[in-house]
Copies of this chain bind each other. A is one copy, B any other.
Amino acid sequence: MSVTDELLANNAAYAETFDGPLPLPPSRRLAVVACMDARLNVYAILGLKEGEAHVIRNAGGVVTSDEIRSLAISQRLLGTREIILIHHTDCGMLTFTDDGFKDAVRKDTGIRPPWAAEAFSDLDDDVRQSIARIKADPFVPHKDAIRGFVFDVATGKLNETV
Contact = CB atoms under 8 A, between A and B. Distances in A.
A84 B2 CA distance: 11
Nearest to A77: B92
Contact of A52 (B15, B38, B59, B96): B38
B41 A50 contact: yes
Interface in A122-162: 138-139, 141, 145, 147, 153-158
A20 B153 CA distance: 7
Nearest to A38: B26
Number of copies: 2
Interface residues of A, number: 89
Interface string A36-48: 1111110111111
A157 B145 CA distance: 35
A14 B45 contact: yes
A29 B44 CA distance: 21
B156 A15 contact: yes
B113 A11 contact: no
A136 to B, nearest CB: 13
A103 interface: no
Contacts of A24: 37, 39, 90, 92
Contact of A15 (B38, B84, B155): B155
A92 B36 CA distance: 22
A76 B105 contact: yes
Given A11-B45, A108-B141, A109-B139, A4 B73 contact: no
